[in-house]
Amino acid sequence: MTAPDETGIGVDEWVEQSEGRREGHTGFTAPARRLFDKLTPGSRLTLFLLAAATYPFLVRGSDVRIGITILLLAMVALGLNVVVGWAGLLDLGYVAFYGFGAYFYAIVASDQLPAHWPTWIAIPIIVAASALLGALLSLPSRRLVGDYLAIMTLFFAQIFVELVRNFERLPFVPDDLNLTGGPNGIPGVKPFEFFGFEFNGQELLGGTLPTFSRQYYLVLVFLGLLIVGLHNLNDSRTGRAWRALREDTLAAEHMTMPVNRLKLLAFAVGAGIAGLSGALFATVQNGVFPNNFNLFVLIIMYAAVILGGSGSIPGVVLGAVAIAYVPELLRDPTKAGLLFYVGIAVVLFVLVRRWDKIAATVGGVFVLGLVVRFFSSRIWDESILGEVNDTSLSRLLDDWVLNFESQRDVITSYAFVLAIVGVLLVVLATGWWKIAALIPTLYLAILVWENKLVFQPSITRQLLFGAVLVVMMAVRPQGLLGTRRVEIM
């Protein structure tokens, strides 16, 4: 009947252990986690906003755009988090509401229509219309759960893109009306303007604050307000009901919660946030195009929510930062290299966890490098190896890992295969054997990286991004700041 199952969850000993784990986070991130736990939500937000506010001063002008992308992703992911993370509804049509908000703004604030609505009127109307659309679209899918809901909503997402692409070909649309601009989208969208205060203009503060920075702060303000509102909502009657719905719909229904109305509300709130984010996106980009709202964008949104920790507001924001920033980081080979070595360090900490073993591994890899360097100069000549005979200390450090002059492809291919074998051995081995397997594996990985991957940025980007995601998910399946999820009956 209710005998404790094998996992031991729910048995008193397990409970005690769990309490022990709660008290002190273990591992190398413990101090940071403890500090994070100590902060109040208000001070966390303040710290985040302060840090975010300094960003435009730290980077060059156009790099601020990356910041804008990050903040917008955080906003839209927070809306998705309401639907998926809190209410537990797998909504794959979410990107359509983002697109709806963006196109709505682009149409009423460009030369598509003579209307030219002022921003402060357009934004609230767009939010309301998106929320309404969200509620309406949730009606037919109200009774659906899980996979069925996912398929149904995915259909909406696809319909939306097709609709804006082919709007003028629709049967009931007059020939001369091309509202959405078809595949070409809508360029020339008016900037965000607040009672004469233009966020794209040149004159603000004597021109000391560039356009990108202004837009950045605009989105940051919206994000801050959104975080506060959602935080309050999460800790309220409605937020608890959503989460109860996610945990056990039937039980929630028995505990006085109107399940259908709550689902509808979750869809509407999520869609409203998506619409707002979309409108901001349109002002920032000064235009909208069908491809801004395709399924890849949806995947990015989901990745931010899942990576950060579905259900957690700080988690989702952090997830958005990671998802939007890592690919940018990988564009630049030096930064990509940095990320590679940081990644190796993280893997080392996670796999090994003991300082003596970590030191042994690092030392081992270094010595192995020197040994390989010494012996390979006996086997191969300079046409392959390049200059390696200089044994001065600085040259040793510089050329610590072999950098082939020719036959690079053949050698790195072998090294790659060997590295894969090494990974398998590392996974299988335990104790010091693990370290023994880890040393050559790391060396081979670095060899492959230095000889091949740095020269192929685009492949490397995707590879590394994928690897980062895989490592993160393996290390923290609940997401960066998410809390552990248990699903058993």
Partner 1 sequence: MKPILELRSLSKAFGGLQVIQDLDLVVGAGQIVTDDDPVVGQGEAVADLDFSLKPGEIVSVIGPNGAGKTTLFNLITGIYEPDSGDILMDGRSIIGLSPEQVSNLGVARTFQTLRVFLNMTVKENVMAAAYGNTKVGMWGSVFRTPSARREEKQISDLAESKLSFFGERLMGYRWDQPAYSLSYANRRRLEIARAMATNPRLLMLDEPAAGMNPAETHEITELIGQLRDDVGYSILVIEHDMHVVEGISDRVIALDHGVKIAEGSFEEVATNPHVIEAYLGAGAAGTK
Write out the residues near partner 1 by the rule CB under 8 A. Answer: 1-4, 9-12, 15, 18-19, 22, 229, 232-233, 235-241, 243-244, 247-248, 250-259, 265, 269, 311, 483-489
Closest approach, Cβ 100 to partner 1, in A, equals 21
Closest approach, Cβ 267 to partner 1, in A, equals 13
Residue ranges of alpha helices (H) inside 145-210 are 146-165
User: Whole-angstrom distance between the N-terminal and C-terminal Cα of the chain?
Assistant: 11
Nearer to partner 1, 84 or 108 (CB): 84
Closest approach, Cβ 255 to partner 1, in A, equals 4
Closest approach, Cβ 6 to partner 1, in A, equals 14
Distance CA 326, CA 70 (A): 11
| Torsion on CA atoms 64, 66, 70, 73, rounded to nearest 10 | 120
From residue 60, give the alpha-carbon distance in Å to each of 141, 327, 364, 476. 46, 18, 40, 33
Closest approach, Cβ 189 to partner 1, in A, equals 29
Beta-bridge partner residues of 194 = 197
Nearer to partner 1, 140 or 258 (CB): 258
Closest approach, Cβ 75 to partner 1, in A, equals 15
Nearer to partner 1, 251 or 397 (CB): 251
Nearer to partner 1, 15 or 459 (CB): 15
Distance CA 136, CA 169 (A): 25
Chain centroid to Cα 279, Å, comes to: 21
Closest approach, Cβ 88 to partner 1, in A, equals 10
**CB atoms inside a 10 Å sphere around CB 225:** 10
Closest approach, Cβ 240 to partner 1, in A, equals 4
Nearer to partner 1, 241 or 321 (CB): 241
Reduce the DSSP state of residue 473 to 3 states and report it: helix
Burial class (CB in 10 A: 0-12, 13-18, 19+), 202: exposed
Reduce the DSSP state of residue 211 to 3 states and report it: helix
Nearer to partner 1, 233 or 344 (CB): 233
Find, among 173, 138, 172, 167, the residue nearest to 153 by Cα: 138
Distance CA 196, CA 295 (A): 36
Beta-bridge partner residues of 287 = 187
Distance CA 183, CA 346 (A): 44
Buried b (16+ CB within 10 A) or exposed e, 13-24: eeeeeeeeeeee
Residue ranges of alpha helices (H) inside 199-312 are 211-234, 237-247, 249-254, 259-285, 295-308
Nearer to partner 1, 20 or 466 (CB): 20
Distance CA 182, CA 165 (A): 4
Closest approach, Cβ 437 to partner 1, in A, equals 36
Closest approach, Cβ 81 to partner 1, in A, equals 15
CB 170 within 8 A of CB 105: no
Nearer to partner 1, 256 or 394 (CB): 256
Closest approach, Cβ 122 to partner 1, in A, equals 21
Nearer to partner 1, 3 or 379 (CB): 3
Beta-bridge partner residues of 187 = 287
Closest approach, Cβ 489 to partner 1, in A, equals 6
Cβ-based neighbours of 88, under 8 Å, separated by 6 or more: 242, 243, 245, 246, 247
CB 422 within 8 A of CB 440: yes
Burial class (CB in 10 A: 0-12, 13-18, 19+), 446: buried
